[in-house]
Amino acid sequence: MRVLVVTNLWPSPERPANGGFVRDQVEALERIEGLDVEVFKIAPGGGATYVRGARNLKRRYRDERFDVVHVHYGLTAWSALTTQRKAPHLVTFHGTDLAHGVVGPMSRAVARLTSLPAPVSKALAKAGLPGAGATRRVAILPMGVNLDRFERRDRAEARERLGLDPGGRYLLFPADPARPEKRHDRAAELARAADAELLTYGGVAPDAVPDLINAANAVVVTSDREGFGLAALEALACDVPVLSTDVGIAPLALKEIDGTLCAPYDRVRWTTAARPHLDSADPRIEGRRRAALFDRNRMAQRVFHAYAELTKAPL
């Protein structure tokens, strides 16, 4: 089976943190026997970027044939409509594309033109695609966690590599503070209340992220919304405590794991939950087994099954 992946989410020298999870999924798909995957990247940008992408796609693949076109992100799906019109188009919606005030309506419109809309979570499907699972067919295709990259590391060594205080009290906000929906203000308030230093992903090279997670006493996901919520799974894969609002995958991922919290943000409750981890020299939880349920290779198999269903190909 030959698959064309079209995405604006992919790491580049200019944007090294952009879409590493899509690259992880493609790498996992490439390991599946009988699957041939080609990737076409559209640089993130304004409307002109997607117009150029549409033109380049049409020209590049005019004389080729793919069994499935797999698109990541709603705006990119408009560009992909210009190519391989006889092949089914599967579109993975990641969250912002359905929730954004301008991009959201465009993404919902293109979802009606695609063979299979595929939000990354049930919550996103329910909120972003009215009638999903009832009056319209969708697939829930989460992104997977890269267990080869995110694993438990020695906390003291991670702090040493990052130049952090070996005895410091650190909370990690696993996002860029500039993204308003992630609610850095809540994480900063929590850190002040708990007498901790707040680390963030802002300006951090992707290669340093596993060390940042392992260096932290706890990871705090204070978001208003999450399409999926990979950050919580990455922390679980490292056996690092997680405090999260009840968004995205968090209610399922954190359920009944001692040392975690999944609840609406409340400064007093969250401070009480964070302090035992901050007071411990090396707080850890039993999280990796839960994260393994969302391993990128397992999630890639779900994607492959969706391809097979679209093409009625044998598995």
What is the full DSSP assignment across 78-112? HHHTTS-TTS-EEEEE-SHHHHSTTHHHHHHHHHT
214 shares its domain with 299: no
Domain of residue 170, CATH code: 3.40.50.2000
Q: What is the Cβ-side half-sphere exposure of residue 199, based on CA atoms within 13 angstroms?
A: 25
**Number of domains the chain contains:** 2
What's the rounded mean pLDDT across residues 192-198? 98
207 shares its domain with 287: yes
pLDDT category of residue 239 using cuts at 50, 70 and 90: very high
Is the pLDDT assigned to residue 123 strictly greater than 90? no
Nearest to 227 by CA among 77, 73, 3: 73
243 shares its domain with 120: no
Would residue 150 count as lying in a domain? no
Would residue 43 count as lying in a domain? yes
110 shares its domain with 37: yes
37 shares its domain with 138: yes
Separation of alpha carbons 100 and 83, rounded Å: 26
91 shares its domain with 37: yes
% the chain with pLDDT above 90: 88
- The pLDDT, as a whole number, for residue 47 is 84
What is the DSSP secondary-structure string of 230-290?
Answer: HHHHHHHHTT--EEE-S-TTHHHHTTT-TT-EESS--HHHHHHHHHHHHHSSS---S-HHH
For residue 193, give the amino acid letter.
A
40 shares its domain with 131: yes
pTM of the model: 0.93
Is the pLDDT assigned to residue 314 strictly greater than 70? no
39 shares its domain with 60: yes
Domain residues for 228? 155-292
Would residue 27 count as lying in a domain? yes
What's the rounded mean pLDDT across residues 220-232? 95
- The pLDDT, as a whole number, for residue 313 is 64
- The pLDDT, as a whole number, for residue 133 is 73
pLDDT digits (tens, 9 = 90+) for 56-70: 999 999 999 999 999
% the chain with pLDDT above 70: 99
Would residue 205 count as lying in a domain? yes
216 shares its domain with 271: yes
284 shares its domain with 305: no
Separation of alpha carbons 182 and 112, rounded Å: 29
- The pLDDT, as a whole number, for residue 315 is 57
101 shares its domain with 177: no
116 shares its domain with 242: no
Would residue 184 count as lying in a domain? yes
For residue 283, give the amino acid letter.
P
Would residue 149 count as lying in a domain? no
Separation of alpha carbons 255 and 190, rounded Å: 22
